[in-house]
Amino acid sequence: MRIGELAERAGTTTRTLRYYESRGLLTARRTDRGHRTYDEDDLRLLGQIRTLQDFGFELEETRPFLECLRAGHPAGDACPASIAVYRRKLAELDGLIEELRTVRAQVGAQLLRAEAELPHGPEPRCELAAETEE
């Protein structure tokens, strides 16, 4: 298939495909007229890239998975290099989760402090809210 058809079927653009080719993630074959041609395997590679990027992987992190697919592993992740990327990504995610837990605890403490300082009468009106209601 030609580049336009691959882009359409993969839900991307020809520009993106050329960029992937320039990064060595996608390899086009050429017709005798110089047109790029692709096959179903290339479509699978693009699906793998998209899935991994949806999970938050950087483009370069997809390379071991693509190489694993090219080596004949159906899921593209049953190779040592892919597993290493998974491990690094999980460690990164665990760190981010811990950071979010810390921030959540701080925000929760601020909320409790702010609620404790509320007067016990009618709630004070926010001046900004009064301006938008008029």
Instruction: Please report the pLDDT score of residue 7 as a whole number.
Output: 96
Cα dist from 125 to 70, 80, 128, 130, 133, whole Å? 64, 61, 9, 7, 11
Grouped pLDDT means (10 residues each) for the chain, 134 residues: 95 96 94 93 95 95 96 92 97 97 96 88 61 58
Please answer whether residues 57 and 92 qualify as being in contact, where contact means their C-beta atoms are separated by less than 8 angstroms. Answer: no
- Name the pTM for this structure: 0.76
What are 116's two structure tokens? 């404790």
User: 3-117 is classed in which CATH architecture?
Assistant: Orthogonal Bundle (1.10)
Instruction: Please report the pLDDT score of residue 119 as a whole number.
Output: 80
